[in-house]
Amino acid sequence: MNERSWIHTLFSTGVILAVFLICCPTAYGAEADDPFYAKQSYLQQIHMNEAWDVAQVNTNITIAIVDTGVDLNHPDLKPNLVPGINLIHPELPPADDNGHGTNVAGVIAAMGNNDRGVAGILWRARIMPIKALEADGSGGEQRLGEGIRYAVDHGAKIVVLSLGLNKYSAYMSDIVKYAEERDVLLVAATGNEGNRVKYPAAYPTVLAVGGLTADGTADSRSNTGPEVDLLAPWDVFTTGLDGNYESKDGTSMAAPQAAAVAALAWTRNPGMKAYEIRQFLRQTAQDLGGKGWDETTGYGMLRADRMMTEMYLADMYEPNNRKDQAKSISVSKKISASFAGGSDIDWYYVDAPYDGTINLSLDMNSAMSASVQHTNATGVLTSKTVQGGQVIPLKVSKGRSYFQLQLTERGQTMNVPYQLETSFDIYRDPYEDNDKQFMSYVLPSRSLSIKGTFHQYNDTDWFEFPVEQSGSLRIRLSTDTARMDPVLLVQKQGEKSVILDKGDDGVTETMFIPEVFPGSYYIRVTNVKDYANPVVGEYTLSFEYDAKLIDPNEPNNRSYQATTVSLNTPYNGLLDKLDDVDWYQFTVDEESLVQVRLTDIPSPATMYMNLYDGALKPIASSMNTPPNDSQQLSGRFQPGTYYVKLNTNRTFDHHMYQLLVSAQPLTGGYTDIRGHWAQDAILSLSSKQVINGYDDYTFQPDRPITRAEATAVLSRAFNWSKQRAVSYTDLNESHWAYGYIAHAAQAGVIDGYPDRTFAPDQPVSRMEMTAMLARSMNMTGKRRGNVPFTDVDENYWGIGLLKQMKAEGWISGYADGSFHPDQQATRGEFVTLLSHLLR
């Protein structure tokens, strides 16, 4: 495809080096007397009347609108305008030749109570028009950056950006940081494509505003994702060109509402920093649906009245001192909170959209540091220390991860504010390194789909698809985000390549080759030329290969002809006759968890899988029910030889099934403890039926142990038979651990919290573990003797138990003399200490 022009038309969905407008695809208190005020129902939705009871104007700060300019002679705007600039034609004033900038300006500051037209959120204000876009609404990111910088350098306190583009830009990122460092609030629209949040709204310090319908739900066209901060009404009635008024819609009309409310709030809080105003908008937003932040509605709906009446909280996320109180935050945003001294613990959780890395930084007093305990979605625990301003990477799996933050200066008594910034890097796909054709990843010669990523700058992915039999081939390249504009290149070895890039941002590319011949076909997947940066998103590369195939395993129609299977190696086969039967055999050398998995069964065929032991005695059988194309048999197998027999009710010769036999050696019935430092303790207590693992034959020794799990283990270990009735708000008699907890409560080993909760899923700290085990042994602790560890003192609540347990040789700390009492205890640590006590 020819290289794109840097200019595009208004509302185009594809942007390379262009910026597009994001608009139009389209209680009681003080009221304005403007004639069209009745058409401005969105003002009632965000409770402007109540806010106007407090203030209606702010002429002390300047609000810049980087857009298509503003109608400089509009009677409802002219009194509120201050000099700006035209970056398209510098010799001319920033007059609007499109209408979009005028629409935005009216939402913010159409003159109120002037018996004319409409009322802006601010009745009197200082609006700086900056024309950075052409008459058709397009423009380059260079001018967008110049517009923001001009606004910052010429005294603007707020910059409104009702525009967007799909690509990340290092240049724009630097401009955004420039504004943040100079205490300027950037407010941007998320976009209207029902896809990912556009830039600049997607940068961590830009307030990203989505669109809200009249019935209080997120508009389906409003872009969503981890960068959304809040929503404001989608439909407005506002100023238009040539002194007119008109209805408009889109997130372009939502963003200026948030900016204007921010300016209004600055009238009662003139000393607040831009990041505090940004956090205040989040704090006062009205929850929509679930409580707290989510990627569809952010923190909720803009509430002007709350901004004008509520007090700013230094930490809006409290209470969050326990895991079950953890607050939801984005994987890609900057928030504000505080430590209420050294004993304060702050819990947060994030929902990672993919496997990858979360980069976490704390902006606080550089002389201080904080401990970070991260529990991955898979249960893996990581502990790190972060200095103020330092960035630490934390590996995450797709799903929910938890972060526990606490000052390392535990004796700190003063409140310590901090800003927590997160950013997300997607995983490196399993086909790397394949950036060059000679490094192409060789794919199996069959129909399949794979997922890849552009995890690094200028990432290029090459694949080789070997064709063994003549047939047809359809290649499809799709993506789950508009931040990618995928380009597909296909080349038969020794022949000329074909490049396909017919679509635009996020659009699927498809190539059909009606006749392919034996040989290698090379496929290159790239992001379009100007999208060189890493992208948070996945592409899917699919192959539909239709060829008459030959079963590589024949003859294997009898058990004595069975194909010998190597474990963890896929085998493909055909059943091209109704009387065809495929036999396979495999050997297990030691007790193992074996999985026999049959996949890629062609629809509408039903396949029957039968499993036999070495004497051909039936063990198990299964079948799939179309359209389900897979089935599995699994279990605990003793050493020996086993057979698999496959047959079908429908023949097929253009699509191969895949058989995979995998085996994980078992140690004491577990797949994940062999060689682990806690192995002996786990085996010992398992043999006594004190502990058990999970249904998937794992023990997960490095996973934090919960209060419920720890209580159950202790109850079984000490054979407590007496129990007392317990009543907690978060625990009923149907809970699996209720009986164990009742026994432990009677034994005086554990109890609930003052708020009448038990928090059964809350991780146990190393100190809580020590206390539970000590009480189980009827140890009461002693006050005499030296402090045993460097990170506790005589005032620590568990010092007596630590002294006794250390003196009697039950516990030991780390090599540096510390104990880390507040660190989460793992299942391996708990079991090892308990095993030591039971000797």
The DSSP secondary structure of 76-110, one letter per residue, reads TTGGGB---EESSSTTS--B-SSSHHHHHHHHHHP
Q: Tell me: the pLDDT tens digits for 260-286?
A: 999 999 999 899 999 999 999 999 999
Enclosing H/E stretch for 449: strand 448-452
Mean pLDDT computed over 668-682: 94
Choosing from 524, 546, 568, the residue where a domain stops is 546
Q: Same domain, yes or no, for 586 and 504?
A: no
For the ranges 397-411, 526-540, 731-745, the lowest mean pLDDT is seen at 526-540
Q: Same domain, yes or no, for 99 and 237?
A: yes
Q: Same domain, yes or no, for 257 and 388?
A: no
Q: What is the pLDDT of residue 3?
A: 30
State yes or no: pLDDT of 14 exceeds 50: no
Q: What is the pLDDT of residue 52?
A: 95
For the ranges 150-159, 178-187, 328-337, 782-791, the lowest mean pLDDT is seen at 782-791
State yes or no: pLDDT of 152 exceeds 90: yes
Mean pLDDT computed over 445-455: 94
Q: Same domain, yes or no, for 627 and 707?
A: no
State yes or no: pLDDT of 24 exceeds 80: no
Place of tokens 């509302």: 11
Task: Give residue 218's identity as a one-letter amino acid code.
Answer: A
State yes or no: pLDDT of 529 exceeds 80: no
Q: Say whether 266 sits in a helix, a strand or coil.
A: helix
Q: Is 543 exposed, middle or buried (0-12, 13-18, 19+ CB in 10 A)?
A: buried
Q: Is 580 inside any structural domain? A: yes
State yes or no: pLDDT of 108 exceeds 70: yes
Q: Same domain, yes or no, for 717 and 783?
A: yes
CA gap 350, 339 in Å, rounded: 20
Q: What is the pLDDT of residue 7?
A: 27
| Token output for 249 | 């819609």
Contacts of 120 (CB under 8 A, 6+ apart): 80, 106, 107, 108, 109, 110, 111, 112, 260
Choosing from 516, 546, 576, the residue where a domain stops is 546
Q: Is 520 inside any structural domain? A: yes
Q: Same domain, yes or no, for 698 and 652?
A: no
State yes or no: pLDDT of 199 exceeds 50: yes
Whether 607 contacts 648, CB under 8 Å: yes
638: domain CATH number is 2.60.120.380
For the ranges 324-333, 496-505, 620-629, the lowest mean pLDDT is seen at 496-505
Q: What is the pLDDT of residue 471?
A: 85
772-796: b (≥16 Cβ within 10 Å) or e: bbbbbeebeeeeeeeebbebbeeeb
| Token output for 319 | 């209470």
Q: Same domain, yes or no, for 399 and 464?
A: no
Q: Same domain, yes or no, for 521 and 447?
A: yes
Q: Same domain, yes or no, for 444 and 474?
A: yes
Q: What is the pLDDT of residue 6?
A: 30
Q: Is 314 inside any structural domain? A: no
Active site residues: 67, 100, 252
Q: Is 582 inside any structural domain? A: yes
5 or 745: which carries more pLDDT confidence? Answer: 745
Output DSSP code: residue 731: B
Opening angle at CA 366, ends 364 and 372, nearest 5: 65
Q: Same domain, yes or no, for 138 and 283?
A: yes
How many structural domains compose the chain? 5
Q: Is 743 inside any structural domain? A: yes
State yes or no: pLDDT of 176 exceeds 90: yes
| Contacts of range 200-204, beta carbons closer than 8 Å, 24 or more positions apart | 200/144, 200/161, 200/164, 200/172, 200/176, 201/161, 201/164, 201/227, 201/255, 202/168, 202/227, 202/332, 203/172, 203/173, 203/176, 203/227, 204/332, 204/333, 204/334, 204/421, 204/422, 204/423
Mean pLDDT computed over 176-202: 95
Q: Is 318 inside any structural domain? A: no
State yes or no: pLDDT of 5 exceeds 70: no
Q: Same domain, yes or no, for 189 and 333?
A: no
* Domain carrying residue 190: 20-309
Choosing from 388, 423, 458, the residue where a domain stops is 423
Which percentage of the chain shows pLDDT scores above 70? 96
Q: Same domain, yes or no, for 89 and 204?
A: yes
Q: What is the pLDDT of residue 1?
A: 33
Q: What is the pLDDT of residue 246?
A: 96
DSSP-derived secondary structure for 560-590: GGPEEPPTT-EEEEEE-STT--EEEEEEESS
Q: Tell me: the pLDDT tens digits for 237-267?
A: 999 999 999 999 999 999 999 999 999 999 9
Q: Tell me: the pLDDT tens digits for 457-507?
A: 999 999 999 998 888 999 999 999 999 999 999 999 989 999 988 877 888
Average pLDDT over the chain, rounded to an integer = 91
Q: Is 554 inside any structural domain? A: no
Q: Is 657 inside any structural domain? A: yes
State yes or no: pLDDT of 36 exceeds 90: yes
